[in-house]
Structure 1
Amino acid sequence: MRRVEIIANIASGSVGPDAPAIAERILAEHGVAGTVHTPGDDLSACLRSVIDSDPDAVFIIAGDGTARAAAEMSGPDGPPIAPLPGGTMNMLPRAFYGERSWPEAMEACLTEGAPRMVSGGEVAGRQFFVAAILGSPALWADAREAARAGKISLTLSRAHRAFRQAFSGRLRFTLDGRPKQKTQALALMCPLVSTVLDEDERALEAAALDPSNAIEIFRLGVSALGGTWRDDPSVSMGRCRVGRVWAGGRIPAILDGEPIRLEPEVHIRFRPKAFRAFALPEPP
């Protein structure tokens, strides 16, 4: 590896103002050329410029949204992306590097990393590589974002709204041409993290989460903590290559930890070749 370009968002999660200096030191210690970029307001333009320069790899030290955007922008034909953990949830970094800090993950990538093709999913034209959640439970992500910003009153307001709307509307969906169904939320997991799919399987794992009251939500939460949520009676499982989801209004969603709003009708599809990751030989 001759040249690595690094994007460090010093305002994100666990990155910090010393990140550029630390990253430059690690590059120098491994004899790899590269530049550390600290994007301002125009993150998309910075990503585009770095990816178009065609380095051997692009290291991202930032949150979930930036990691997802970089992977989507680079795609299967662009330079490999190393999504180092710099956010709060770090969904994509954890899938590749486990619980390593970003300097530890960067060291490991430079010593033993290699490009690897990764599959993913797509909802309404936006890609995800770990998991997507569609439906009212995604509203809790808005409360989480307000809490991260230290806005207590806004956090309480959004949490109240999420609880109030928990059973206010259901999703309709159909997967791979099967009969239409209704559910409170639809979760889609990529082969990268699913425990029931082989990594080379050409499908998403789909789970319809349909608790009917607060007691069932609590039970589902307990089963999730124990890792047995797939056995909960309010969960129905399946595989999905294509699908359609619709609702009476805009659909709240989370894509790889990033909260967004989708149109009232969206399409889902599996992408067998989504992007090239700079990954370690042994999964965490």
Structure 2
Amino acid sequence: MNETLDQQAPSSAVVTTEPRALTSHVTLERLIMLVNPTSGSVGPRAAGEAQEILAEYACQSSVVELTGADFDAQILAALDARPDALFVLAGDGTAGRIASRAGPDGPLVAPLPGGTMNMLPKALYGTGDWKAALKLALEEGAPQPVAGGEVSDGHVRQAFYCAAIMGSPALWAPAREAIRDGKPGLAWAYGRRAVRRAFTGRLRFSLDGGPERKAEALILISPLISRAMEEDIGLEAAAVTTSNAAQALRMAAHAMTGDWRQDPSVTTGATQTVTVRARSRIPAVIDGEPTLLRHEARVKFIKKAFMALAPTPATSEKAV
């Protein structure tokens, strides 16, 4: 009887769990994760959930919840700490600004999907689930140079790593995302607004100092997501030359189904510098963030804008 009891494990025994394996492509000893709880799909529980996931790995990690009053100071402190990788769970605009500040010589940046469009995270990780993207970066990530562009209108300077749309068709971007999210009613409302505001003025643009041309809109796409660009040699420039509402609707339909390059109103080519001007301010969507540029803007290609922590080869297919 006693012998049988002695062979049993004590009821107070502690079961230990081995840490999950980190990627073998790069050393990850010190990690910082910035979380914006008010952004898009993040929510108030995200910081705690991130801490639980990071605790499963054999690394030193800290999670910083971004607050309005200290937003910029918190980001600067995280960059100055020089972690092996900086994870960002926030909207597209915040992730892009942090990546721009990190630059090619800063820490590796892992922009997780926490916004609404999530263009950059989806291009790098192929998912809109931030927890899945976080685990993918931790377990399969490697240093990946990310090319991009920079838009400047003499007042503001904004980087992009996926796409910049300038001109009235920029107004179609919300409609396309609504279609992807399965919200046809919202897509129709956005589409009607785009039609009403279209044809208010054409752009004039020049590629690489060449002759000036006219277009309804200009779309500049990074090599990261362009199906037409196989190497980081420049931005794909797509000029849209619709001249009436029927053509705009056809173009919008093509944009929503992904075969927009087949539309006869579109011409494409590679470029490293672009000048765009119009008689009035230029509506634009830069990496999913709508903005209003001044009447003249310049764009330049940046071959190595920042270093991302992402799987190689890219997890996702090129999407645009």
TM-score (norm 1): 0.90
Paired residues of 1:142 and 1:259 also in contact (CA < 8 A):
no
Q: 2:36 is matched with which residue?
A: 9
Residue 173 of structure 1 is aligned with which of 205, 230, 246?
Answer: 205
Q: Which one-letter code corresponds to 2:226 in the other structure?
A: S
How many residues are paired up? Answer: 275
Q: 1:68 is matched with which residue?
A: 96
Q: 1:22 is matched with which residue?
A: 49
Q: Which one-letter code corresponds to 2:38 in the other structure?
A: A
Q: Which one-letter code corresponds to 1:232 in the other structure?
A: D
Q: Deviations over 1:57-112 (max 9, x none)?
A: 11011111111111111111111110101111100000001125111111111111
Q: 1:133 is matched with which residue?
A: 165
Paired residues of 2:147 and 2:232 also in contact (CA < 8 A):
no
1:227 aligns with 2:258: yes
Q: 2:9 is matched with which residue?
A: none
C-alpha distance in 2, partners of 1:217/1:161?
12
> Structure 1 residues 38, 278: CA separation in 2 closer, same or farther (over 3 Å shift)?
same
> Structure 1 residues 161, 102: CA separation in 2 closer, same or farther (over 3 Å shift)?
closer
Paired residues of 2:172 and 2:252 also in contact (CA < 8 A):
no
Q: Which one-letter code corresponds to 1:89 in the other structure?
A: M
Shift of 1:228: 2.1
Shift of 1:159: 7.4
Q: Which one-letter code corresponds to 2:147 in the other structure?
A: S
Shift of 1:143: 9.1
Q: Could you say what the CA RMSD is over the residues aligned between the two structures, in angstroms?
A: 2.3
Query: Which structure 2 residues correspond to residues 18-167 of structure 1 after superposition, within 5 A?
Result: 18-41=45-68, 42-124=70-152, 125-139=157-171, 162-167=194-199
Q: 1:149 is matched with which residue?
A: none
Q: Which one-letter code corresponds to 1:196 in the other structure?
A: A
Paired residues of 1:172 and 1:183 also in contact (CA < 8 A):
yes
Q: Secondary structure at the match of 2:55?
A: helix
> Structure 1 residues 142, 281: CA separation in 2 closer, same or farther (over 3 Å shift)?
closer
Unmatched tracts of structure 2, length 5 or more: 1-27, 178-188
Paired residues of 1:8 and 1:36 also in contact (CA < 8 A):
yes
Q: Percent identity?
A: 49
C-alpha distance in 1, partners of 2:103/2:239?
29
C-alpha distance in 1, partners of 2:159/2:135?
28
Shift of 1:211: 1.4
Query: Which structure 2 residues correspond to residues 264-283 of structure 1 after superposition, within 5 A?
Result: 264-283=295-314
Shift of 1:144: 10
C-alpha distance in 1, partners of 2:223/2:237?
11
Q: 1:205 is matched with which residue?
A: 236
Paired residues of 2:217 and 2:241 also in contact (CA < 8 A):
yes
Shift of 1:45: 2.5
TM-score (norm 2): 0.80
Greater Rg over alpha carbons, structure: 2
Q: Which one-letter code corresponds to 1:85 in the other structure?
A: P
Q: 1:182 is matched with which residue?
A: 214
Residue 217 of structure 1 is aligned with which of 223, 248, 251?
Answer: 248
Unmatched tracts of structure 1, length 5 or more: 146-155
> Structure 1 residues 144, 204: CA separation in 2 closer, same or farther (over 3 Å shift)?
closer
C-alpha distance in 1, partners of 2:210/2:244?
27
Shift of 1:32: 1.8
Shift of 1:161: 6.0
Q: Which one-letter code corresponds to 1:24 in the other structure?
A: Q
Residue 290 of structure 2 is aligned with which of 249, 259, 264?
Answer: 259
> Structure 1 residues 118, 253: CA separation in 2 closer, same or farther (over 3 Å shift)?
same
C-alpha distance in 2, partners of 1:100/1:267?
31
Q: Deviations over 1:15-40 (max 9, x none)?
A: 12111111111111012212111111
Q: Secondary structure at the match of 1:216?
A: helix
